[in-house]
Amino acid sequence: MSERSSGTGRLTTGVVWAVLLLGLWLWGQEVTDVRPGTAAPTTGDVAAVGRPPDAELPPAAKPLGAALPQRIDIPYLGVQAPVVARGLDAQGAVDPPPFDQAGVVGWYAGGAKPGAAGTALMVGHVDTQTRPAVFYKISALKPGERVRVIRDDGKVAEFTVDDVQVVTRDHFDAHQAYGPRQSGRAELRLITCGGSFDRATRSYTANVIVSAYLTDADR
């Protein structure tokens, strides 16, 4: 766990949860800002597919015990990335990995652990000033695709994507975006920037939010 996240408590009250959600929205606005003298990064965003009405998804698996995430694999995208624990920044947003670690995914250590009951939050950059980053293509995921999280207890928590959304700032609902979809499930959110790049504000116009839930686990 990072130094900043070691003192962060679990989300136990509605007030703390609301602050975190607001911070995540601010993070989505600011995480890919362009520094002076650089070109605006390109976006990996495509139209979100949501959940097709005929999508057949597996039943949810029983939540696992608590264990720390070590790596995330997204086979459909060819992503294999280390996961590091992160806390909150001064604005109350999940503090993402630095830009020089654009291939690393940040997990909010004050929330649920991936595979345990609750919603585990993972954030990653869509790009840097010079190249695509770890979550550049996550908006191309579709319901039914798998996300695997390797944990420090030797278990691999396998999640099934059930929803992919590009949520604009004008229509942003923090609880709908990041809150649990079904009580008692082990859920996962992958979050990055999306939409188009606004050169005036030097930020993206939306967030890409991938929702998944635990459907299997093995060693």
CATH class belonging to 14-218: mainly beta
Which percentage of the chain shows pLDDT scores above 90?
A: 48
Map out the domains of the chain as residue ranges: 14-218
Using alpha carbons, list the distances in angstroms from residue 102 to 26, 59, 67, 69, 99.
19, 34, 24, 18, 5
Q: How confident is the model at residue 94, as a pLDDT?
A: 78
Q: Which residues of 163-193 are buried (b: 16+ CB within 10 A; e: fewer)?
A: bbbbbeeeebebeebbebeeeebbbbbbbbb
- List the structure tokens of 59: 């039943």
Give the Cα separation of 89 and 55 in Å (integer).
38
Tell me, what's the pLDDT at 113?
A: 96
Each residue of 99-157: pLDDT tens digit? 889 999 999 999 999 999 999 999 999 988 888 999 999 999 999 999 999 999 999 99
- The CA distances from residue 145 to 3, 84, 159, in Å, are 34, 23, 8
Conformation bin of residue 49: beta by default, left when phi > 0, alpha when psi is -120 to 50: alpha
**Could you tell me if 190 and 138 are in contact, meaning their C-beta atoms sit under 8 angstroms apart?**
yes
- Would you place residue 21 in the very low, low, confident or very high pLDDT band (cuts 50, 70, 90)? low
Residue 185 has pLDDT above 90, yes or no: yes
Residue type, 94: V
Residue of 24, 88, 23, 37 whose CA lies nearest to 202: 37
pLDDT in tens, 49-76: 455 556 689 999 999 999 999 999 999 9
Q: What is the pLDDT of residues 30-49, one digit of tens each?
A: 443 433 333 333 344 344 44
Would you state the pLDDT for residue 24?
A: 54
Ramachandran category for residue 80: left, alpha or beta (phi over 0 → left; psi -120 to 50 → alpha): beta
* HEC string for 140-184: HCCCCCEEEEEECCCCEEEEEEEEEEEEEHHHCCHHHHHCCCCCC
Q: Are 14 and 161 in contact (CB under 8 A)?
A: no
**pLDDT at res. 46:** 40
